[in-house]
Amino acid sequence: MFGTYHHKRVLTAITGAFLVLVGIGCELLGDDPTPGIGDVEEIAYQDHIQPIFDNRCAACHSGDRVEAGLRLDSWPSLIVGSDFGEALIPYSPEQSLMIKLLTRTNADPHPSGKRELTLDEVQLLKRWIEEGARGPEGKVPYSDSIELIYVANEGEPARTT
- Rounded CA-CA distance 118/106 in Å is 18
Give the model confidence (pLDDT) of 1-21 as tens digits.
Answer: 555 555 555 445 454 444 444
CA 116 to chain CA centroid, Å, is: 8
pLDDT of residue 98: 94
Does position 145 have pLDDT exceeding 90, yes or no?
Answer: no
Mean pLDDT, range 52-57, rounded to an integer: 94
Give the model confidence (pLDDT) of 77-93 as tens digits.
Answer: 999 999 999 999 999 99
pLDDT of residue 110: 81
pLDDT of residue 156: 64
**Four-CA torsion 122, 128, 133, 135, nearest 10 degrees:** -100
Cα-Cα-Cα-Cα dihedral sign, residues 86, 132, 142, 139: negative
pTM of the model: 0.69
Q: Which residue, 90, 112, 115, 113, is CA-closest to 101? A: 112
Report the mean per-residue pLDDT for the chain: 79
Does position 24 have pLDDT exceeding 70, yes or no?
Answer: no
